[in-house]
């Protein structure tokens, strides 16, 4: 990370007591934006420490979800630990928690309690289904929400079983993005009002937000989402085709790109075919269209098609394996992958910052070791780095 990189949130302090993915990634995003983020773990640790795969004994998800943070250990179930947590919260601008509804109240760290000690606190509560309703206290996880929100049913190939986006924590990460937006908006409002507020974000609402176009199709046009493989329900051609060696994605958004597509596959007459004269007709006759196109694409290698589609102004892309994508010159030129040296886990690669600020550049720093900053941060609360309080909460 560039030593000059401070980020636009420099000076903002965050207390992150969340676990697993949606909450921790929210804290990581704020940290990459320059905030000082303090991850608070219980003595047993965040469960993602042990989620496979691991790198030198530490879960790679824990490493990735907790970049740009300091790490302390507090037993918040004990009276002394709770008092310490409240004292730390009073020094922070933002508080993040994603416990099941009802748990944070038992710990005595709910919004009503914390705003009494810090009226300017932005309190972000992330839940699975929302804080009211019959499922408010139900447990949740990314694949459960993919299923509940209808997302999984629109994935996979036609006729296959219901399929979720695996290995990505797709809804978790989307929830973190929505939570970060809300926190930043609340910070902006605080500049005018001088007061903090509670921000509620649920995985269910985030799942609906990223499916807004599907919801519009259903409610506005009666189009029920279903599994279509890589095909778009609204544009044709718009899908992955198998070339001689690799899959490539091709799309034609308008008539000009459609004509370019026909020229690229050396079938200019298709542009005048009445079955395919407009996008609406192409979508209606998509089986016939793809029956013509697919064998042509399969006859030549991907590099051929990438060049010829580009020459004719048709958007296209190779379906990369990540191990190839991460080394692509475009990715490298924009620092989209960050390589970090850690003391305990060797070199790790994580996603780079997704924004570029001219005056306040951001960066990625390695995650702290669990409990690494306990004495430093809690000692500062009492004015002594060797305080009894700090020692008693290390677990």
Cis-peptide, bond into residue 53, ω within 30° of zero: yes
69-105 b/e (C-beta count within 10 Å ≥ 16 → b): bbbbbbbbeeeebbebbbebbeebbbbbbbbebeebe
CB 5 within 8 A of CB 361: yes
Q: Collect all residues with Cβ–Cβ distance below 8 Å to 73 and sequence separation of at least 6.
A: 40, 41, 42, 43, 370, 371, 374, 393, 394, 395
Residue 357 has pLDDT above 60, yes or no: yes
Q: Which DSSP helix (H) or strand (E) runs through 162?
A: none
**Among 60, 30, 70, CA closest to 348:** 60
DSSP label at 74? -
Q: What is the structure's pLDDT at 215?
A: 76
Tens-digit pLDDT profile for residues 67-100? 999 999 999 999 999 999 999 999 999 999 999 8
Tens-digit pLDDT profile for residues 257-274? 999 999 999 999 999 999
Residue 387 has pLDDT above 60, yes or no: no
For residue 179, what are its two tokens?
């939570």
For residue 74, what are its two tokens?
């507090």
Domain boundaries, the chain: 13-210+328-392, 238-242+247-318
Tens-digit pLDDT profile for residues 301-350? 999 999 999 999 999 998 887 788 888 888 888 888 888 888 889 898 88
The CATH code that applies to domain 238-242+247-318 is: 3.30.1540.10
How far apart CA 343 and CA 164 sit, in angstroms, is 35
Q: What is the structure's pLDDT at 169?
A: 82
Q: What is the structure's pLDDT at 163?
A: 65
For 13-210+328-392, give the CATH class: alpha beta
Q: What is the pTM of this model?
A: 0.85
pLDDT grade for 192, boundaries at 50, 70 and 90: very high
Q: What is the structure's pLDDT at 161?
A: 66
How far apart CA 50 and CA 58 sit, in angstroms, is 6
Residue 394 has pLDDT above 50, yes or no: no
Tens-digit pLDDT profile for residues 7-65? 999 999 999 999 999 999 999 999 999 999 999 999 988 888 888 888 888 888 888 89
Q: What is the structure's pLDDT at 295?
A: 97
């Amino acid at each position: 990370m560039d030593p000059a990189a401070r980020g636009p949130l420099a000076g903002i302090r965050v207390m992150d007591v969340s676990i697993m993915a949606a909450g921790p990634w929210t804290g990581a995003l704020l940290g990459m934006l320059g905030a000082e983020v303090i991850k608070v773990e219980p003595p047993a640790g965040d469960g993602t420490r042990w989620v496979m795969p691991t790198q030198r004994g530490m879960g790679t998800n824990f490493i990735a979800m907790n970049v740009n943070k300091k790490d302390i250990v507090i037993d918040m179930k004990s009276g002394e630990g709770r008092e310490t947590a409240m004292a730390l919260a009073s020094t922070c601008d933002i508080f993040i928690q994603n416990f099941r509804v009802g748990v944070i109240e038992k710990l005595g760290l709910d919004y009503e309690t914390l705003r009494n000690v810090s009226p300017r606190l932005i309190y972000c509560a992330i839940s699975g289904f929302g804080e009211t309703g019959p499922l408010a206290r139900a447990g949740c996880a990314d694949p459960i929400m993919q299923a509940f929100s209808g997302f999984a049913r629109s994935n996979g190939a036609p006729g296959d079983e219901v399929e979720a986006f695996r290995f990505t924590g797709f809804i978790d990460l989307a929830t973190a993005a929505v939570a970060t937006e809300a926190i930043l908006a609340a910070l902006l409002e605080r500049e005018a009002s001088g007061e903090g507020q509670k921000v509620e974000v649920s995985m269910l609402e985030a799942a609906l937000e990223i499916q807004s176009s599907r919801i519009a199709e259903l409610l506005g046009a009666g189009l029920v989402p279903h599994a279509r493989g890589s095909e778009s329900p609204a544009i044709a051609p718009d899908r992955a085709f198998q070339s001689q060696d690799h899959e490539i994605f091709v799309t034609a958004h308008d008539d000009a790109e459609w004509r370019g597509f026909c020229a690229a596959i050396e079938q200019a007459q298709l542009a005048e075919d009445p079955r395919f004269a407009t996008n609406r007709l192409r979508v209606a006759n998509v089986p016939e269209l793809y029956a013509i196109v697919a064998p042509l694409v399969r006859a030549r290698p991907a590099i051929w098609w990438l060049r010829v589609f580009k020459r004719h102004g048709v958007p296209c892309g190779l379906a990369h394996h990540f191990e190839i994508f991460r080394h692509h010159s475009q990715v490298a030129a924009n620092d989209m992958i960050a390589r970090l040296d850690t003391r305990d886990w060797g070199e790790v690669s994580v996603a780079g910052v997704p924004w570029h600020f001219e005056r306040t550049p951001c960066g990625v720093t390695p995650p702290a070791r669990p409990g690494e900053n306990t004495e430093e941060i809690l000692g500062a609360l009492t004015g002594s780095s060797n305080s009894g309080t700090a020692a008693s909460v290390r677990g």
